[in-house]
Amino acid sequence: MKLSTTLALAAAASSASAHTIFLSLNGGAVGDGVRVPTYDGVRKPITEVTSNDIACNGGPNPTTKTSKVITVQAGSSAKLTWRHTLTSAGSDVIDASHKGPVMAYMKKVSDATTDAGPGAGWFKIAEDGLDSSGKWGVDRLISAQGVQTITIPQCIAPGQYLLRGELIALHGAQNAKGAQFYMECAQINVTGGSASKTPSSVSLPGAYSASDPGILYNLYSGQKTYTAPGPAVFKC
């Protein structure tokens, strides 16, 4: 390997040393049906909530297309695996300093392989913020070796959706644009949904504002509560 390449890789590794990626769904291969960044070293958190990149990443982190659409049964649990890099083990999820909520959203689409993500139609299906003992969703995600377990609502319509896993790291969120947003979108085909309820939905970008109390948030001031940004979790 050329020296310049070695130095570039070392620099990239240190700058990315605390970040995280939702890289596989239900034990599938990395990037199989999940749009992951093309290369760990250029991965940057999204900090601009009004950017289209807040939906399914991209922008500073080009994502890899995948032709796979993962079949998921409505009402079943789904497992989203988060890792520090595309090749990290389960002991390397995210730096423990990156405390904050772990969430998931869905959006009904006509073709999950081509829908870019930004725009209307997003509804929140999971949210794990701060509990009464002071533990964060990120703490629980690390304990679970990076596996976020959620339930796909039973009452939604069958068909194709984007499933967006999101983690917000709040270690710098006391400053404007200091919250770091990590997200990727999986391409899923929901089977067996009863279609008995239609979730109300929001736009991404649009649902978040830089001054939301869950985005401009001081992690170090001893606050005992936390209100995650975005809509309430949709319940059947």
Binding site for ligand NAG (CB under 6 A): 69, 160, 189, 191
- Residue 82 belongs to what H/E stretch? strand 77-83
> Which is nearer to ligand NAG, 22 or 161 (by Cβ)?
161
> Segment contacting Cu ion (CB under 5 A): 11-19, 25-33, 100-108, 114-122?
11-19
Nearest CA to 17 out of 106, 97, 95, 80 is that of 95
191 contacts which partner out of ligand NAG, Cu ion, none, CB within 5 to 8 A by kind? ligand NAG
CB of 169 to Cu ion, least distance (A): 6
Contacts of 18 (CB under 8 A, 6+ apart): 84, 94, 95, 97, 98, 169
| Alpha carbons 172 and 30: distance in angstroms, whole number | 29
DSSP designation for 41: G
147 contacts which partner out of ligand NAG, Cu ion, none, CB within 5 to 8 A by kind? none
| Alpha carbons 107 and 162: distance in angstroms, whole number | 5
| Alpha carbons 223 and 63: distance in angstroms, whole number | 36
18 contacts which partner out of Cu ion, ligand NAG, none, CB within 5 to 8 A by kind? Cu ion
CB of 186 to Cu ion, least distance (A): 22
Residues 83, 55, 211, 128: is their CA dihedral positive or negative? negative
> Which is nearer to ligand NAG, 191 or 223 (by Cβ)?
191
3-state secondary structure of 7: helix
> Which is nearer to ligand NAG, 160 or 174 (by Cβ)?
160
| Alpha carbons 159 and 171: distance in angstroms, whole number | 38
> Which is nearer to Cu ion, 81 or 201 (by Cβ)?
81
Please give the backbone phi and psi of residue 12, each rounded to the nearest 5 degrees, phi first. -65, -40
CB of 188 to ligand NAG, least distance (A): 9
198 contacts which partner out of Cu ion, ligand NAG, none, CB within 5 to 8 A by kind? none
Which residue, judged by CB position, is nearest to Cu ion in the bound state? 18
> Which is nearer to ligand NAG, 71 or 87 (by Cβ)?
71
| Alpha carbons 47 and 49: distance in angstroms, whole number | 6
Binding of residue 84 to Cu ion (CB under 5 A):
no
Q: Among 4, 10, 14, 19, indicate the residue that binds Cu ion (CB under 5 A).
A: 19
> Which is nearer to Cu ion, 45 or 121 (by Cβ)?
45
The binding site for Cu ion (CB under 5 A) comprises 18-19
